[in-house]
Amino acid sequence: MIPRRALLAAPALAAAPAGAQGAAVDLLLVLAVDASGSIDAAEFALQRDGLSEALTHPAVLGAIRSRPRGAIGVAMVEWGTPGGAATVVDWMRVSDAASAGAAALAFRDAPRSRQSYNAIGDAILHATQLIAAAPWRAEDRTIDVSGDGPDIRSLMPAAEARDLAVAQGIVVNGLAIEAASSWRDGRLAALYERDVIGGPGAFVLRAEDRRDFARAMRAKLIREVALHPAGAAPAHAAGRPGPAAG
């Protein structure tokens, strides 16, 4: 687990990561993906394919090109086990169809990490540290948490980890996969609003099931890349969620 005192001291690191050497992108985006035991092999493949499809979609590429530098940095984290979130694809720079295709292939082919339970808070902590160590600078930094259940057994509760990330200028968004009947009709999205998302313009999108994941993730990426926190309403501070969208 990341020491809390290290996170509290990290804003300077996040603003100018070691090794950046003056390089910059428009957005640093960590895709924190649920790999817990509730997801079987077929569902896992749908999730990976959905990420790859979303990243290479022309509308997403157009959103990237619309930004001043025309490039974003992306990384993929898998989460589940308390304290065991894992970076399965380290930072990759995406600026065009070729680089998006390379990242999509990396997302699809990365070995699945061993995860259990639903430790969302620990995933947010891991993603926060990953952003602090990114090889590029970016004014906009976002953690994208997707999952099919609430926070369970995190070493640090999701809301506390979220607040630490937001305090460093990181926006945390959510994608609630309402695949289980107990979490349908916006129930999971409501929990994500309360416990997971935070920062200027933070939001939750809903996917009805894993087959809807690609559509929801594509919409989410377009919104995250094209609309940056500087232009968002400032009401969504730490612990104050934005509205869910379907």
Residue with tokens 């720079």: 93
Report the pLDDT averaged over residues 240-244. Answer: 43
Of residues 233 and 85, more confidently modeled: 85
**pTM of the shown model:** 0.84
Q: Under a CB-based contact definition with an 8 Å cutoff, are residues 197 and 183 in contact?
A: no
Query: Other CB atoms closer than 10 Å to residue 58's CB: what's the count?
Result: 9
Domains of the chain: 24-245 (3.40.50.410)
Q: Is the pLDDT of residue 79 over 80?
A: yes
pLDDT tens by residue, 94-122: 999 999 999 999 999 998 888 877 899 99
Q: Decide: helix, strand or coil at residue 24.
A: strand
Directed axis angle between helix 213-226 and helix 41-56, to 10°?
40
Reported confidence tier of residue 245, pLDDT bands at 50, 70, 90: low
For 104-152, give the secondary structure using H, E and C.
HHHHHHCCCCCCCCECHHHHHHHHHHHHHCCCCECCEEEEEEEECCCCE
Q: What pLDDT is stored for residue 35 in this prediction?
A: 86
Q: Is the pLDDT of residue 232 over 50?
A: no
Q: Is the pLDDT of residue 10 over 60?
A: no
Distance CA(80)–CA(15), nearest Å, equals 28
pLDDT tens by residue, 20-42: 444 899 999 999 998 887 777 88
Range list of H helices, the chain: 4-8, 11-15, 41-56, 58-65, 97-109, 120-132, 158-167, 187-195, 213-226
* 3-12, 72-81, 126-135, 185-194: the lowest-pLDDT one: 3-12
Query: Other CB atoms closer than 10 Å to residue 173's CB: what's the count?
Result: 25
Q: What pLDDT is stored for residue 242 in this prediction?
A: 43
